[in-house]
Amino acid sequence: VLDVHTFTVLVIVCTAVFFTFSFVHLSPKLKTTAPGLTDKTKRTAEHLYDSALLLSSRSDVQTCTSWNAPIIWEGMFNPGHYDQTHRSEGSSVALTVFAVGRLAFLNSSERHFMLSLPVSYYVFTDRPEKVPNVNLAPNRHLNVIKVERHARWQDISMTRMKTISDVIEADIRHHSTHVFCFDVDQVFTGRFGPEALGDTVALLHAHYYHLPRKLFTYDRNPKSEAFMRTGDFYYHAAVFGGSWRSVKALTEACYKSIMEDKKNNVEALWHDESHLNKYFWLHKPSRILSPEYCWDTSIGYRFDIRVHRLLWAPKDYYKLRTS
């Protein structure tokens, strides 16, 4: 027969064991590591391509977002895996670029952009006769589309959203699985391959990825549709892409916001880039490219930038903002 004291102790011990068992085995598992520090991070069905993606191979940089989207850096992937997988799945890419007044892009893309996949170029220009002859590889095609020349670069920048949406609807969706949109003042200098493909693809801006969030130049005007108090990252509009459906949805949404601003006599700080950042804040990208995929050499050496895949031309931003 147990005395009262012994019985009380047993009750306490049994209760503790029960709750410990319940917490460990029945409650949701607590994350003990930050996103991106384990190769077993759960990702959506879209990232079945990423079965061999090594998130933990780059401990010097963030390789995964809080919503489990991978951030692609050199050393995280096997190029041959992505080439073979996307080729076997029948992936194909449309590349759009607005070459109004300036043409120095296509030759480098033939040396480095999606070399393992069929590619269709869409060059929008006010001077089709100035588009250079390019020796295209098999399964690569060039489409030159005449567009109106605007007096201000800002108007070119903002109207491109509607132009891209229209050409996706009219043509691209019938033969390309993915679309990538580029600024023209850039040159490919290294592999830009299928590891960059995803449903919605954003690019970390080279000038902001090391800065605290409070210094990101989101549009702070509450009257603009692009207004943001905060965000996840600062994205560069020089490169964005994804499946044709997602890029069509993105460009339509940005164009609608831009037109709403125009109706209210408002212009976002960085024009389509401000609207792009707002869109990606509300609709998280499923894949993010590191600044390797669009680097500015004026920044100087960075230990975490191991390769340059695309280099952008220097710009006088004060002049651009005031012209």
Q: Is residue 279 part of a domain?
A: yes
Q: Is residue 296 part of a domain?
A: yes
Q: Of 74, 195, 225, 273, which is the active-site residue?
A: 273
- Residues spanned by the domain of 265: 58-321
Q: Is residue 39 part of a domain?
A: no
Residue-level pLDDT at 129:
86
Q: Is residue 208 part of a domain?
A: yes
Q: CA torsion, points 214, 215, 218, 224, in degrees to nearest 10? A: 70
The region of weakest confidence among 3-12, 62-71, 178-187 is: 3-12
The string of pLDDT tens digits covering residues 224-271 is: 999 999 999 999 999 999 999 999 999 999 999 999 999 999 999 999
Question: Can you say which residues are annotated as belonging to the binding site for UDP-N-acetyl-alpha-D-galactosamine?
Answer: 98-100, 183-185
**Beta carbons within 8 Å of 275's beta carbon, 6+ residues apart:** 161, 225, 226, 254, 257, 258, 268
Q: Is residue 160 part of a domain?
A: yes
Q: Is 252 assigned a catalytic role?
A: no
The string of pLDDT tens digits covering residues 120-178 is: 999 998 888 888 888 899 999 999 999 877 665 556 666 789 999 999 999 999 999 99
Element housing 83 (H / E): helix 79-88
Residue 37 and residue 66: Cα distance in Å, rounded?
Answer: 11
Question: Can you say which residues are annotated as belonging to the binding site?
Answer: 98-100, 183-185, 205, 217, 273, 296
What mean pLDDT is predicted for residues 180-186? 93
Q: Is residue 261 part of a domain?
A: yes
Q: How many domains does the chain have?
A: 1
Pull the structure tokens for residue 70. 């991978």
Domain containing 62 — which CATH number?
3.90.550.10
Percent of the chain whose pLDDT exceeds 90: 69
What mean pLDDT is predicted for residues 62-89? 96
